[in-house]
Structure 1
Amino acid sequence: MTSRALWWQLLRIGLRAGLHAHGGRLRFMALITASTVMTIFFLSTLMVTASYDGRTQRDLARGAEHALGRKSPAVALYAPDGDSIAEKVFES
């Protein structure tokens, strides 16, 4: 018996037993609804985590890359400094 046939048989048995029990249909629908809500919750949590991880990786790729000795040659000079416009100072 394959694994698909086993879960299908168990689902059929549970559905038949639930339909003939007192409040079986309501219990079955409640379990299906709870399973759906939990699946949506976990998938949305995974999507939020992946989205923030992607944002962090993009921010790191856009930032300045410091040359470490002779391993990576410097392409441009990076000097952190502020700027001022109309006597208002902006720090970088």
Structure 2
Amino acid sequence: MSAGDADNSGFYNAATDLIERNIKAGRADKTAFIDANGPHSYGEVAKYAAQFANMLARLGVQREARVVLVMLDSVDLVACFLGAIKAGVVPVPLHTRLT
């Protein structure tokens, strides 16, 4: 782990490593994910992830809490998964057929 892989708390954060390092490298407009609606850039995924992380904080979800994600495979799932990690929350994805 390098210092660049840590979030503001000093802990390793996969969302920072997977998304933000690509933005810092000038790839914000490059494709990060493709779903049924087409391609989505690193910048777009980062924006959605930050929105989800901020929502979790507003709701008072504490670090290391578990958040279940029951979603179809889409950019929304990726953004929520990374947003949860960004917030220090543990995402628990479940297959939609299990509900």
Q: If you compute each CA radius of gyration, which structure gives the higher value, 1 or 2?
A: 1
**TM-score for the superposition, normalised by structure 1:** 0.29
Structure 1 or 2: larger strand share?
2
**TM-score for the superposition, normalised by structure 2:** 0.27
